[in-house]
A and B are shown apart, each in its own frame.
Chain A
Amino acid sequence: MSKQIKDFRGTPLRESDFQEGKVLYVHDALRGEYAWDTGIAIGHYLASLKKGVILGARCDHCRKIVVPPRTVCEWCFRPLTEYVPLQDTGTVNTFSICYVTWDVKRVEKPEIPAVIEIDGASPGHGILHKLGEVNPEDVTIGMRVQAVWKPAEEREGAITDILYWRPLKEVEKR
């Protein structure tokens, strides 16, 4: 009975109430450490990244190739048994130009996260990564891009073995 209620409860506080000691509080920093197993499919994916290859997986029943690879197709719930090497080129599906950190502090150089559809995977199948070697104003959806890899000896089997994706230059377009 919203209109009959005049006194909604809840007491707003300001940052200054803490600084000036008007309210008491307890501060603590919790620390959790984890070591995650990569699993079967992502284990293959990471091992393949170390070799400079992006790996997908094929579902023969749904006739599609997904990336990153997984052991089960969520569409038909049949096992995905075949890994498929994909290209290290792709198309920007969507992107953002991010000017802040997670706690909303300004950054000097904006980051350009993007979903990149990987060549060789089924249409619409992409991964999250970042764009580089490009002016933020020049990025468009549909732009063709290519992975920039770490030098082979520095790769460790991680998504960061790809440093970023840069625009595919005209001469390189296949």
Chain B
Amino acid sequence: MGMRKVAVVGAGMTKFVRRAQETGKELSWEAVRMALDSCEMTIDNIEAVCMGTAPDAFDGLHMKAEYLSDGAGAWLKPYMRSYVGGGTGIFAPIQGWYHVASGLFDTCLVVCEEKMSSFYPHAQAAFLTIFDHTTERALKPNLLWIFALEMNRYMHTYGVRKEDIARVSVLHKRNAADHPCALLGEPDITVEDVLNSEVLAWPVQRYDVSPVSDGAVAIILAAEHVARRITDKPVWIEGVGWCLDTAYWTNRDLCYPRYVEVAARMAYEMAGITEPRKQIDIAEPYDPFDYKALHHLEGLQLADRGQAVQLYIDGTAARTGNMPVCPSGGLLGVGNPIAAAGLMKIAELFWQLRGEAGARQVPGNPRRGVAQAWGDLMQVGTVVVMGR
């Protein structure tokens, strides 16, 4: 297609915390500095900056990406913010990728920041305006409804049991215990703990849900000729895909995310992947709720419909399994500062594929990984395939 190869050459992140003393601008700066230091670059080496950050409503600050730009290293540089709901953290690197793949820039810094704690008393309220103002909001919905409705439909359609879905939360939170930035790493959590947690909106319980968080992540992208000068271990962006389904969410079957499938097929085709279950070594599907990881593994074609939970039952998804799922700890364990959570998955694949993930390292020199995010009114899928 006449596009250049693009590599991730550096990554950095802050801790994910419930409430950070640092402002969004300060969090962005910490993540960017770490990413630059990790590959011995300076901001002068960066030609363009892409920022991913979720609704202005969280911060009560209109055009918040412009406010964040100084911390993100964008002073007097080409700068653009993207926002596709929860899918943002995987879309921002796609945007950075086409900045470089197109030949327009040789390097691009991608920063994702979220500070959800400013919204008082709880960031949930910022989500209430996602619903249609005329046909839905009059019913006074809350955000948990759509997840509960989708989870119930998923369980019913395929006969998936809650006690099996809870395994997802257990694995991810245990994995997160090895992540130095994690908010909710719990090495000893059990399925019983999940099933005994408070029922919020049945079938969704407290431990089925990821925590709202503050945090920032940054990665640095470079064109091939630059990447090879910066590092001898570039991690290539091999395929990207994104797609949006209809906003009439009550008109489609919630049991299966076809928008994720469309995005995944686009990314796989670009990456030359014909048999994803054999060719993907690590999966980082978006997991704001435990059932969502299963939903997305199926959309990513890494499991048959309704069968993703088998990966958790038979150990395939474990860090030492054949296809580890969310070795980072995912959103359920590391935390869910919306846009930053998605880019955290890209940073995790970068570290995993370079063999630098420390206690979280997946054994066997993994060669290729896929990261995916999801958002808006349950309608957007964003997918990135990375390999070395």
Contacts and interface: CB of A to CB of B under 8 A. Distances in A.
B251 A45 contact: no
A3 B14 CA distance: 14
A2 B351 contact: yes
Interface in B2-51: 11-22, 27, 30, 34, 38
Interface in B266-324: none
Interface size class of B (residues with CB under 8 A): 35 or more
Contact of A10 (B27, B120, B125, B347): B27
Interface string A5-23: 1101111111000000001
Contact of A159 (B16, B135, B215): B135
A98 B11 CA distance: 40
Nearest to B206: A104
A102 B125 contact: yes
A99 B21 contact: no
A167 interface: no
B124 A104 contact: yes
Pick the most buried of B133, B153, B251: most chain A CB atoms within 10 A of its CB.
B251
Contacts of B19: 12-14
Given A94-B153, A113-B141, A127-B135, 11 more contacts: A2-B347, A9-B30, A10-B17, A12-B15, A74-B248, A98-B144, A98-B202, A100-B200, A127-B250, A128-B139, A129-B139
B230 to A, nearest CB: 13
A40 B13 CA distance: 47
Given A10-B15, A10-B27, A97 B133 contact: no
Interface of B: 11-22, 27, 30, 34, 38, 60, 120-122, 124-125, 127-128, 131, 133-136, 138-139, 141-145, 148-150, 152-153, 156, 180-181, 199-204, 214-215, 246, 248, 250-254, 347, 351, 354, 356-361
A70 B246 CA distance: 12
B203 A96 contact: yes
Interface string A137-171: 00001000000000000000011100000000000
A76 interface: no
Given A1-B351, A10-B214, A42-B135, A100 B181 contact: no
Contact of B121 (A12, A103, A113, A124): A103
A98 B145 contact: yes
A8 B180 contact: yes
A38 B251 contact: no
A37 to B, nearest CB: 9
Contacts of B150: 94
Nearest to A70: B248
Interface string A86-114: 00000001111111111110000000011
A4 interface: yes
B133 A159 contact: no
Contacts of A68: 135, 248
Interface size class of A (residues with CB under 8 A): 35 or more
A66 interface: yes
A141 B152 contact: yes
B13 A8 contact: yes
13 contacts: A5-B180, A10-B30, A13-B21, A36-B133, A94-B153, A96-B145, A97-B202, A98-B148, A100-B144, A102-B128, A103-B122, A124-B252, A159-B139
A2 B180 contact: yes
Contacts of B252: 124
B21 A74 contact: no
A115 B148 contact: no
A10 B138 contact: no
Pick the most buried of A36, A96, A160: most chain B CB atoms within 10 A of its CB.
A96
A124 B255 CA distance: 11
A96 B253 contact: no
A8 B14 contact: yes
Contact of A114 (B30, B149, B246): B149
A130 B142 contact: no
Contacts of B149: 94-96, 113-115
A141 B133 CA distance: 27
Contacts of A113: 139, 141, 145, 148-149
3 closest A-B pairs by CB: A3-B358, A96-B148, A10-B15
A112 B92 CA distance: 37
A115 B149 CA distance: 8
Contacts of A13: 17-21
B254 A115 contact: yes
Given A10-B181, A96-B202, A127-B135, A3 B356 contact: yes
B158 to A, nearest CB: 12
A136 B148 CA distance: 14
A46 B357 CA distance: 56
B108 to A, nearest CB: 20
A143 to B, nearest CB: 12
Contacts of A103: 121-122, 124-125
Contact of B22 (A10, A130, A158): A10
A13 B22 CA distance: 10
A158 B14 CA distance: 46
A45 B201 CA distance: 29
A113 B254 CA distance: 15
